A = this chain, B = another copy of it.
Amino acid sequence: MNETFKALSDPTRRKILDLLKESDLTAGEISGHFNMSKPSISQHLKILKNAGLVQDVKKGQFVVYSLNTTIFQDIISWAFNFTDDQKENKRG
């Protein structure tokens, strides 16, 4: 979870995730949405990939990035334990 939350603590990386929510994208397409050098975006993508938040698949000469939705389910399950709903369950 350390790496996951560290990856999520950066607004550029969260914006990349927002873009990937709409559709799978190449690194070039992602870069087009930012005023930032391609190597910077590549570095952010690498951190997101290492944290398991995105995956990349080679399609011909391109690498296409997509969300790894299961990790978001893991975050939901983790956070749910800290909500009042969970407390109610325990009492009931």
- Report A's interface with B, CB cutoff 8 A: 1-6, 8-11, 14, 17, 21, 67, 69, 72-73, 75-76, 79-84, 87
List B contacts of A80 (CB < 8 A): 72, 76
How many chain copies?
A: 2
With beta carbons under 8 angstroms apart, the residue of B4, B8, B76, B83 that contacts A1 is B8
Q: Is the interface of A mostly helix, strand, loop or mixed?
A: helix
Among A14, A17, A82, A87, max chain B CB count under 10 A is at A82
How far, in angstroms, from A83 to B76 measured CA to CA in the complex? 10
Which are the 8 A-B pairs with shortest beta-carbon distances? A5-B9, A72-B82, A6-B9, A5-B8, A75-B79, A72-B79, A5-B5, A76-B79
